[in-house]
Amino acid sequence: MTLSTFRTVKDLRAQVAAWRGQGLRVALVPTMGALHAGHLSLVQQGFTRADRVIASIFVNPTQFGPGEDFDKYPRQEQADADLLRSVGCSALYAPTAAEMYAPGFCTTVTVAGLSEDLCGITRPTHFAGVATVVTKLLLQALPDVALFGEKDFQQLTVIRRTVRDLDIPVEIAGVPTLREADGLAMSSRNRYLGPDERRIAPLLYRVLSDVGPGFLAGQMAGDLCAQAEKRLLDGGFASVDYVSVRDAETLETVPKWEGRPIRVLGAAKLGAARLIDNLGFPV
């Protein structure tokens, strides 16, 4: 049995309308493909919130900057379709770039502030690309709920803000990060790591894990993050984009704990990979 695959907005909408006509709730899981267990958990979580789950695969060019890995980003649609079918996914939406960006396309959705911080410092156009393509995918499918991984926590925050600000009629659900046995957050980009780098990689998780308890115990974010960055560099990371303690909802900086939930986020380079991860506290 093959997975139903739609290439056009028209076909996607016809399927969603047919399900709606049967009184079914529909979930969307937007992805860039190269699926791993983290993506599959989004599909599985989708079925706890809806009757049908559509996964989309689109490697969106506008969220990659110059010199980033758009060209080498892994593409494996048949393997992805097999994985999606294995967890009972209802359909795959895999539009072409021409279907997503017709000639003359010139509209951008930007989320000020939030998009310019953290990963936005080194990737200044990334979150506008994300906000625009996710707005399009949500309005193409008009699902009841869309699910995104907490692994890309800033992205999730930007998407929540976009949906709220533009009144997109959909519920956004964040799903906890899946990790390898040694703590490394699952990511399609982990395949860029060589064997030695793969052994070093889980240090990012451990370092972020250690920031939280110290912060909740009253230590200053600046001191804890400086120590964390040093540990990453000493441990073999090539460079650190940031380690930062933020308000879990607004992503504003929190120098010292004041009782609200916080998120510790980090981004660092290791070989050909730029790894990101984050953890929430109190746990």
Residues that bind a copy of itself (CB under 8 A): 9, 13, 102, 104-114, 131-132, 135-136, 139-140, 142, 161-162, 164-169, 250
Tell me whether residue 39 is one of the annotated catalytic residues: yes
Q: Nearest 10 degrees: CA dihedral of 264, 170, 114, 193?
A: 50
* CB closer to a copy of itself, 96 vs 105: 105
Q: Classify 160 as helix, strand or coil.
A: helix
End-to-end CA distance of the chain: 42
| Active-site residue, from 33, 38, 39, 204 | 39
20: its two tokens? 């709606």
Strand, coil or helix: 173: strand
Tell the smallest beta-carbon distance from residue 14 to a copy of itself (Å).
12
Closest distance of CB 108 from a copy of itself, Å: 5
**DSSP-based three-state secondary structure for 39:** helix
Whether 117 and 158 have beta carbons less than 8 Å apart is answered as no
Residue 1 or 106 having the CB closest to a copy of itself: 106
- Per the listing, tokens 């999730």 go with 156
Write out the two tokens for 176: 């906890």
* Residue positions annotated with a catalytic role: 39
